[in-house]
Amino acid sequence: MAESLLRMTGIQKAFAGVPALRDASLRIGPGEVHALVGQNGAGKSTLIKILTGVYRRDAGEVLWQGRPVDLKSPREAQGAGIATIYQELTLVPQRTVTENIVLGYEPRKPWGAIDWRAADARAREVLSRFGIELDLHRALGSYPTAIQQLVAIGRAASMEAKLLIMDEPTSSLDEKEVETLFGVIRGLKARGTSVLYVSHFLDELFQVCDAVTIMRDGRTVGETRIADTTKLDLIAAMLGRDAEEIRAAGRTEFSVGEQRAGEVFLEARHLASDRRLKDLSLEVRAGEIVGLAGLLGSGRTEAARAIFGLDRVTGGSLKVGARAARIRGPRDAVAAGMAYLSEDRKVEGIVPDLSVRENLTLALLPRLSRLGIVDEARERRVVEGFIKALGIRTADMDQPIRELSGGNQQKVLLGRWLALEPRLLILDEPTRGVDVGAKLEIQSIIAKHVEQGCAVLLISSEFEELIEGAHNIVVLQEGRSVRRLSNPGVTESRLIHAIAEQPDDALEAAQ
């Protein structure tokens, strides 16, 4: 067997005593495109950050080109021939296209000045790999995110690295741009460059990768050649399930439960957006919880954002009640009776420096104000009521929300939307990152409002939460709704099978 370019074995890493990596390993051969997959929290990012010098490992060994290494910084990793393209763009949007491409590696004239003619020539060569022409002297930030992503990929590929790490490189790209990227990856491979490809879009792996390593709970649980595995096998390994049991369960007929809900509140037909949502059809009734199931990257969050007006709808139709609705933004969605709890409470939810009271009433302020002046007495009565009703544990309502636990922060955000008395709650991972007690309390709050006639669209990565809590489950793959399953009668194995089966088969089963 040829000597590995990279071999990581027995890698361990803990943060504040909590293990993030327990026994992780990774082997990449020369000129190999190697996939790294796993659910959120599996340890992929931590392993990459150890390889690239962002974190120091607690134990284990890293061999680079057959020799032990201990890379202490990203610059040291780059010097060794390891380049990384992160999902979060690390370019400088205010600088020009050329400046971003050559940043840190500027060609110099003999006396030390930057050779801008040579820099422009290098930038053109990088962009030509993607078949695009840009104004090299225009600020990069003025271009769409997809273009910025291609520039970032091109910049890293131009460093002549021996290993190029791509973290979710297609997250902002359309289908044509993805194909172009795959062409670039194949070109890198032909020149002997290895690629570590991290993606939640499993179908992509079978198009461009040679091998795959699977991680779960901080451990490496499998490594195989792509030609020797299937999408269902990968999903089973990521989730710690038996693939044969899932296959067998998938051949069993579904048991359709009795409809227990009221009139249709929301109906989407073939909805598409400018963020990877291609074809969403679903309906949510009053007093019903509809779950959205699928792997990361399947379009669950994009579906929620399109319905709530956060992303631009590019096709299809939306009805609220019996009337066609044009939701051009969150203001329209709220006016129509919708509320949206984002999956990222730190970035899109809480305002950390504001109090519990200020965070809870943020969306309600227009109703609590007259001529721009807030009725503070009424505001405090509202907050007191929700602190009691939702069981929010806080010293007082003026305590900064950043000092609360994750579960209590989430209850404050839930209270923010419930204060508007919505007819539809769109909940994206409402129990993620909270302890078991808070999770049960949040689920109880949701169930109570459903009993009172509220409709709920629930997104969760936990299959058990969907199976136990949703009346109907819509399965998404690659931005498309491909199947609707009705409770009672949905099991975990059957749900996994529906998520993993080929889109054409799923669409046929749904008809």
Domain span including residue 347:
264-510
Domain shared by 222 and 281, yes or no:
no
pLDDT in tens, the chain (511 residues): 457 899 999 999 988 787 889 999 999 999 999 999 887 667 888 899 999 999 999 999 999 999 999 999 888 998 899 988 875 556 788 888 888 888 877 889 888 888 999 989 988 888 887 777 888 898 888 877 767 777 887 787 777 789 999 888 876 676 777 888 888 888 888 888 899 999 877 888 999 999 999 998 889 999 999 999 988 888 888 878 777 766 665 543 333 334 456 888 889 999 998 877 899 999 999 999 999 998 877 888 899 999 998 888 999 998 888 788 888 888 899 889 898 988 776 667 778 888 888 888 888 878 887 877 878 888 888 888 888 888 888 888 888 888 777 778 888 888 888 888 889 999 888 877 665 556 777 788 888 888 888 899 998 877 888 888 889 999 998 889 988 988 877 888 888 888 887 655 544 444 4
Domain shared by 164 and 230, yes or no:
yes
How many Å apart are CA 308 and CA 43, to the nearest integer? Answer: 32
Domain shared by 235 and 314, yes or no:
no
Within-domain flag for 251: no
| 30 prior amide bond cis, ω within 30 | no
Measure Cα distances from 3 to 53, 232, 386, 463 in Å: 23, 30, 62, 41
Report whether 39 contacts 238 (CB < 8 A). yes
Domain boundary residue among 209, 244, 279? 244
Domain shared by 119 and 153, yes or no:
yes
The DSSP call for residue 108 is B
Number of domains in the chain: 2
Within-domain flag for 257: no
Q: Per the structure block, which two tokens stand in for 34?
A: 């190697």
Positive or negative torsion for Cα 125, 128, 129, 130: positive
Domain shared by 215 and 289, yes or no:
no
Other beta carbons less than 10 A from residue 447's beta carbon: 13
Contacts with 247 (C-beta within 8 Å, 6 or more apart), sequence order: 232, 497
Q: If DSSP states are collapsed to H, E and C, what string results for 116-150?
A: HHHHHHHHHHHHHCCCCCCCCCCEHHHCCHHHHHH
Contacts with 13 (C-beta within 8 Å, 6 or more apart), sequence order: 19, 20, 21, 46, 50, 55, 57, 58
Within-domain flag for 249: no
Within-domain flag for 97: yes
Domain shared by 50 and 177, yes or no:
yes
Within-domain flag for 24: yes
The β-bridge relationship of strands 194-198 and 33-37 is: parallel
Domain shared by 240 and 270, yes or no:
no
Domain shared by 164 and 219, yes or no:
yes
Domain shared by 212 and 323, yes or no:
no
Other beta carbons less than 10 A from residue 334's beta carbon: 19
Within-domain flag for 405: yes
367: left (phi over 0), alpha (psi -120 to 50) or beta: alpha
